[in-house]
Structure formats: structure tokens, C-alpha cells
């Protein structure tokens, strides 16, 4: 009998996916809005269940491993799924009333890829999970098709195609790198990869594998798709796309670099350092020039990925723990920020500074939420982003990269400029349209939940930090 | 035939595909270029597998083929969507998003 215990959550999620698909068939037109709520409730239920079952151990002949590290990513994906289903349910109901079932099923499939991938301990399973995550995301990005030429679907085909091209080319590049790694080590098991010596060929293989994954997390110099896709696709979906796949990308990078090639750190550390430094630099630089807020947040996200990579660079339990804490904080902050933008302009894919101008008079609650999210992204004390930045800097300092701390802090000051520009428009300028904003109930609830978490994690970071550290220690056995 | 010959052929195929991705103005040509890159990977995997006398690489190539097929299906669907919305599949015209 095969031991499938470590895969319990994923198997349940797979069952739920087909369950939602069947319910979609049974529901008459006009009542399909319930599917969004159903998805949210099921995912929330699974999140609660994850605290009561034991998913540790090895499965599939050692190709799959369940531990605290993997469980962190599973819960992360489930929370992101709950937030996006509640945040997007109204949008999906208004714009694709007959196709809602497909939207949620695709969302569940991509979540399945995300929960499976961190546990993969074999390159083959890793690649398959990556695709299971990536392909539904492409379909979701172009979901609006061309039904409304002026609405949010206006740019969806182009945005979707750009994401598709980047996604498939990066898969091909990753696979090419992986094929070379396989050729050198003669195995696809991560734990046995490390036996090979450092050679130019290994360097090429690692560089290709890293380049492909760099595309997925949207790091410089593989970031070109990020702003275009964010601008062109629906805002609630972007809130998900900007957070969840990045976490999974980091899980994949950690699997290859730390579980596979920890002893060859000298070969990959310069690559990671280069990507990290350029991501922070160009992300912040390009963000300064943006007029479109989704493009601005896209570039700011590129810079944030740079900060997260510091954890990867240190390649120790402390650094990885800080990476997990950073990304957990980033989940609530960035999703919240995009969902506020969605609440402000629910029928457009392009959102500019004019839309948030005078927000404090049109909706004081949304304005406060936006302010807190921006402060958190900038790293101002007493919201979660401050601790996140502080702790990755501490990880860098402990690992001996003192100059990186100074560089990161300097670039954070540059970032302050464009974040506060938005806050200034929201609070200190006259609204162009004085009408109060009406927000859908569940979207409002998610924004408030994100805001509450940003504040709670900012005031009491220690339980979250301990959780992140425990998860990271599991990675190092 | 030595392993190196296969690897060089695969590297040439991969580079051709990459060049095609960067230079093709037509979406269908782009998909074909991506396919070329995927086949270079398969050639690599099968060659390594053959010369090391084990099957892992061949199984990997099967999975890689399945992944590529799934990708092309999504890609062609997207091309159809693009064609319906603007009557053309030239990508150099798809430049509405910038800033």
C-alpha cells in the first residue's frame, strides 16, 4: 500500500476541484455566483483542516516529502486562494456570468500546482507541478477574452499572450538547464544531485534553470512581462498573480539550490546576487516613472522580489525563515493594495493616480487601508513590511553582506518617494470625482482582513516569525 | 557518434528556437520556435539517458513532451482569441501595453 499521507491536502484539493466542476454543471444560469463563495468556503475549510492532520513523511518513493516547510507553502496558497475568491467573486459574476465555473476550477488547479510543488523532491515532479501552476494562470490572465472592447477585457488577449510566451519560453529554458543537470549527475532526485563537481557545464545548466525560474518570479533581467501583464489583466486576478506564484517560485528555487546544490553554492551565489541587486535597482528606478498604478506596483513588486532573494542568497535556516516571513507579509500587503485599486475602479483594467485622488473623502476606510499597505510596502515601522525588511537585512548582515544592507536601505528610501506619492494623492488632493465609492461586501471584507493582518503582524510579529523559522528549519532537516 | 555530437545538435536546435522566439513577428511562428526549443531538450534528455544506460531521461522526455503539448494547446487557443479580437496574429502590432 502506498503511503499517500503527506499528499492528503493536495488530494482533498483535487477532489474539491472536481466537486466545484460538478456543482457548476448542476447550477442554473444566474445562480453561478455561489461558486465563488463555495470555492472560498472550501479553501478556508481546507486551511483549517491543515492544522489538524499530519502530513509529514515521505511519499511516492521519495519523490515527495511533507514537512513544516512544505506545509507553510500549502497554507500560503490556501490563504491566497481564499482572499482572491472573495475579492474576485463580484468581478467574475458581473463580467463572465456564464463562465464562472471555469474561472474557479482553473483557480483551483493552479492552487493545486502551488500546494504540490514545494514538496517535490524530484526534478520531474517539480517541472510537472510548475506547469500545473503555470498553464491555468495563463488561461486566467486572458479569461476576459474580447467580450467587451472597452472594459477590463480590452487588453486581456495581449496580456495573456505575453504571459504565455514568457511562461512557455521560460519552461523550455528551465527544462534545457534541467536536462544538462540530469546529464551531469545521472539522476533526477534532488538529494542526489549534489554529488557532481563544479564544472563549466554545471554552471551553464544552473544558469539556464535559474533563468527560467527568474522569469516566473519576475526578477530582473527577466521582468519585461510583469508590468504589461499586470496592466492588461483584471485587477483581482493580478492581486493573486503578483503574490502566490512568486512564493511557489521561491519554493522551487530553494528546492534546486538548497536541497540540490547546497555544496555548489560558489557556482550559483554570484548569479543570485546579480539578479537580486539588479532587481532592487531597476524595479525601484522604473517604478518612479510610472503613471499607471498597476504598472507602478508591478515594478515595486520586482524590487520586493529582490529583497526576498536576500534570504535565498544566505542559504541558511535564518535567511530562509526571514524569506518566508517577508513573503507572508507580502501576501497580505500586496494583495490588499491591488484589491483596494480594484475597489476604486472595478470596471477598468487601467488605473491611474487620478482614480485614487481624494480617496480619503470618497471612502475613508479604503484610503486608510491603502495608506497602511503602502507604508508596509515601503517598510515603515509598526506595519509588517518594516519587520520584513529589517529581518532580511539582519539575515544579510549575519551572512557577511554588510554592503547589501546599506544598498537595500538606500533603495528603500528611493521607493518611499513613489509609495508616498500615491498616499499623498489619496489624502491631500481634491477628488476628480466626488462620488462615494460603493464596494462589494466580500471584497470589502478581504481588504479589511488584509489591513488587520498587516497591523497585527506589524505589532506582534513574533508568533509569525517563530512559525516561519520553524518552517525554514525543516528545509535544512 | 559520440554524446557530444548529440549535445551540439541539441544546443544548435535550442539556439535556433531562441532566435525564432526573439525575431518572429508571427504568433504561429513563435509557437513553432518554442516547439523547437522543447525538442532540443528532449534530444538532450534521450541522449544522456542512452549514453548513461538508464531510462530516467527517456521517461523525463515523455513527460516533457506531454507538458509541451499542453502548452501548445493553450498557446493556439490564445492565438485564436487574439485573431478574433484584432483580425491578425502579428505580434509586432500587439503593442498597446507600454509605459
Output the pLDDT for position A397. 94
Confidence of residue B97 (pLDDT cuts 50, 70, 90): low
Confidence of residue B14 (pLDDT cuts 50, 70, 90): very high
State which residue of chain A sits closest to B13, comparing Cα positions: A176
Q: How far apart are the C-alpha atoms of A474 and A258, rounded to whole Å?
A: 12
The mean pLDDT of A431-437, rounded to a whole number, is 81
Confidence of residue B65 (pLDDT cuts 50, 70, 90): very high
Confidence of residue A152 (pLDDT cuts 50, 70, 90): low
Chain A residues with beta carbon closer than 8 angstroms to that of B27:
161
The mean pLDDT of A122-128, rounded to a whole number, is 93
Which of the two residues, A120 and A157, has the higher pLDDT score?
A120
pLDDT at A355 over 90: no
pLDDT at B39 over 90: yes
Q: Which domains does chain B have, with CATH numbers?
A: 3-86 (1.10.287.3510)
B99–A291 CB contact, under 8 Å: yes
Output the pLDDT for position A445. 94
pLDDT at A439 over 60: yes
Best residue of A158, A207, A222 to probe chain B, by most B CBs closer than 10 Å: A158
pLDDT at B13 over 70: yes
Identify the H or E element spanning A20: helix A8-26
pLDDT at B69 over 60: yes
Q: How far apart are the C-alpha atoms of A463 and A477, rounded to whole Å?
A: 21
The per-residue b/e assignment along A74-94, b for 16 or more CB within 10 angstroms, e otherwise, is bbbbbbbbbbbbbbbbbbbbe
Confidence of residue B25 (pLDDT cuts 50, 70, 90): confident
- Which stretch of A169-173, A241-245, B79-83 has the lowest confidence by average pLDDT? B79-83
Q: How far apart are the C-alpha atoms of A457 and A382, rounded to whole Å?
A: 9
pLDDT at A417 over 80: yes
Output the pLDDT for position B99. 44
Output the pLDDT for position B95. 59
Q: What's the mean per-residue pLDDT of chain B?
A: 87
**Residue A354 forms contact with B (CB below 8 Å):** no
Residue ranges of domains in chain A:
5-475
Chain B residues with beta carbon closer than 8 angstroms to that of A182:
45, 48, 56-57, 60
Output the pLDDT for position A55. 87
Helix (H, G, I), strand (E, B) or coil at A401: coil
Provide the Cα torsion A361, A459, A323, A391; round to 10°: 110
Per-residue pLDDT tens over the stretch A29-75 = 888 899 999 999 999 999 999 999 888 888 888 889 989 999 999 99
Chain B: give the shortest CA distance to residue A135, in Å.
7
Helices (H), A315-440: 317-344, 353-356, 359-362, 364-378, 384-398, 402-428
Name the residue among A139, A172, A182 with its Cβ closest to that of B48: A182
**Residue A378 forms contact with B (CB below 8 Å):** no
pLDDT at B58 over 90: yes
The mean pLDDT of A330-343, rounded to a whole number, is 94
- % of chain A at pLDDT higher than 70: 98
pLDDT at A296 over 90: yes
Q: Other CB atoms closer than 10 Å to residue B93's CB: what's the count?
A: 12
Name the residue among B17, B75, B81 with its Cβ closest to that of A145: B81
Output the pLDDT for position A153. 64
Per-residue pLDDT tens over the stretch A365-400 = 999 999 999 999 999 888 999 999 999 999 999 999
Q: What's the mean per-residue pLDDT of chain A?
A: 90
Strand residue runs (E) in A3-162: 57-59, 64-66
Alpha-carbon distances, residue A32 vs A88, A99, A239, A315, B54 (angstroms): 14, 9, 22, 46, 51
Q: How far apart are the C-alpha atoms of A460 and A24, rounded to whole Å?
A: 41
Confidence of residue A146 (pLDDT cuts 50, 70, 90): low
The mean pLDDT of A175-187, rounded to a whole number, is 91
State which residue of chain A sits closest to B62, comparing Cα positions: A124
Chain B residues with beta carbon closer than 8 angstroms to that of A161:
27, 78-79, 82, 91, 94
Chain B: give the shortest CA distance to residue A168, in Å.
7
Output the pLDDT for position A149. 58
- % of chain A at pLDDT higher than 90: 62
Confidence of residue A358 (pLDDT cuts 50, 70, 90): confident
- Which stretch of A213-222, A281-290, B29-38 has the lowest confidence by average pLDDT? A213-222
Q: How far apart are the C-alpha atoms of A210 and A273, rounded to whole Å?
A: 12
Output the pLDDT for position A251. 94
A417, HSE (Cβ side, Cα atoms, 13 Å): 11
Output the pLDDT for position A449. 95
pLDDT at B86 over 80: no
Output the pLDDT for position A436. 84
Output the pLDDT for position B81. 84
The mean pLDDT of A257-273, rounded to a whole number, is 89
Amino acid at each position: 500500500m502506498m503511503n499517500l499521507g503527506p499528499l492528503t491536502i493536495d488530494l482533498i484539493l483535487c477532489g474539491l476541484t472536481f466537486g466545484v466542476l460538478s456543482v457548476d454543471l448542476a447550477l442554473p444560469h444566474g445562480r453561478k455566483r455561489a461558486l465563488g463563495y463555495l470555492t472560498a468556503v472550501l479553501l478556508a475549510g481546507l486551511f483549517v483542516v491543515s492544522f489538524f492532520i499530519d502530513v509529514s513523511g515521505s511519499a511516492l518513493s521519495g519523490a515527495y516529502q511533507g514537512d513544516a516547510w512544505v506545509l507553510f507553502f500549502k497554507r500560503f496558497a490556501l490563504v491566497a486562494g481564499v482572499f482572491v475568491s472573495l475579492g474576485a467573486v463580484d468581478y467574475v459574476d458581473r463580467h463572465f456570468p456564464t463562465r464562472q465555473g471555469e474561472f474557479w476550477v482553473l483557480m483551483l488547479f493552479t492552487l493545486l500546482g502551488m500546494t504540490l510543488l514545494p514538496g517535490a523532491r524530484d526534478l520531474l515532479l517539480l517541472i510537472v507541478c510548475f506547469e500545473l501552476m503555470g498553464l491555468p494562470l495563463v488561461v486566467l490572465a486572458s479569461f476576459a477574452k474580447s467580450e467587451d472592447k472597452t472594459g477590463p477585457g480590452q487588453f486581456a488577449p495581449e496580456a495573456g499572450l505575453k504571459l504565455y510566451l514568457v511562461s512557455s519560453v521560460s519552461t523550455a529554458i528551465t527544462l534545457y538547464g534541467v536536462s544538462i543537470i540530469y546529464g551531469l549527475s545521472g539522476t533526477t532526485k534532488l538529494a542526489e544531485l549534489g554529488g557532481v563537481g563544479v564544472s563549466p557545464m554545471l554552471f551553464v545548466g544552473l544558469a539556464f534553470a535559474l533563468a527560467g525560474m527568474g522569469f516566473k518570479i519576475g526578477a530582473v533581467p527577466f521582468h519585461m512581462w510583469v508590468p504589461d501583464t499586470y496592466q492588461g489583466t483584471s485587477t483581482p486576478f493580478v492581486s493573486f498573480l503578483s503574490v502566490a506564484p512568486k512564493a511557489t517560485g521561491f519554493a522551487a528555487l530553494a528546492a534546486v539550490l538548497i536541497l540540490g546544490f547546497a555544496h555548489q553554492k560558489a557556482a550559483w551565489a554570484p548569479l543570485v546576487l546579480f539578479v537580486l541587486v539588479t532587481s532592487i535597482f531597476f524595479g525601484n528606478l522604473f517604478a518612479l516613472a510610472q503613471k499607471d498604478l498597476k504598472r507602478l506596483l508591478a515594478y515595486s513588486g520586482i524590487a520586493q522580489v529582490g529583497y526576498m532573494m536576500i534570504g535565498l542568497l544566505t542559504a541558511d535556516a535564518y535567511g530562509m525563515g526571514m524569506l518566508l516571513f517577508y513573503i507572508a507579509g507580502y501576501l497580505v500587503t500586496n494583495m490588499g493594495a491591488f484589491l483596494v485599486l480594484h475597489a476604486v475602479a472595478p470596471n477598468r483594467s487601467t488605473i491611474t493616480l487620478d482614480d485614487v485622488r481624494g480617496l480619503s473623502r470618497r471612502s475613508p476606510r479604503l484610503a486608510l487601508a491603502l495608506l497602511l499597505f503602502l507604508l508596509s510596502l515601503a517598510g515603515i515601522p509598526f506595519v509588517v513590511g518594516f519587520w520584513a525588511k529589517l529581518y532580511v537585512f539582519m539575515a544579510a548582515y549575519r551572512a557577511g553582506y554588510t554592503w547589501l544592507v546599506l544598498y537595500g536601505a538606500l533603495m528603500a528610501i528611493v521607493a518611499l518617494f513613489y509609495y508616498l506619492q500615491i498616499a499623498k494623492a489619496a489624502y491631500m488632493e481634491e477628488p476628480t470625482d466626488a462620488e462615494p465609492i460603493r464596494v462589494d461586501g466580500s471584497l470589502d471584507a478581504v481588504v479589511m482582513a488584509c489591513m488587520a493582518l498587516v497591523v497585527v503582524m506589524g505589532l506582534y510579529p513574533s508568533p509569525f516569525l517563530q512559525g516561519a523559522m520553524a518552517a525554514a528549519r525543516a528545509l535544512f532537516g | 557518434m559520440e554524446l557530444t555530437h548529440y549535445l551540439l545538435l541539441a544546443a544548435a536546435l535550442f539556439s535556433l528556437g531562441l532566435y525564432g522566439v526573439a525575431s518572429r513577428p508571427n504568433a504561429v511562428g513563435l509557437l513553432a520556435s518554442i516547439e523547437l526549443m522543447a525538442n532540443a531538450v528532449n534530444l538532450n534528455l534521450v541522449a544522456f539517458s542512452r549514453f548513461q544506460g538508464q531510462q530516467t531521461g527517456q521517461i523525463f522526455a515523455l513527460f516533457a513532451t506531454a507538458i509541451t503539448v499542453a502548452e501548445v494547446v493553450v498557446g493556439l487557443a490564445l492565438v485564436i482569441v487574439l485573431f478574433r479580437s484584432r483580425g491578425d496574429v502579428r505580434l509586432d502590432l500587439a503593442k498597446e501595453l507600454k509605459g
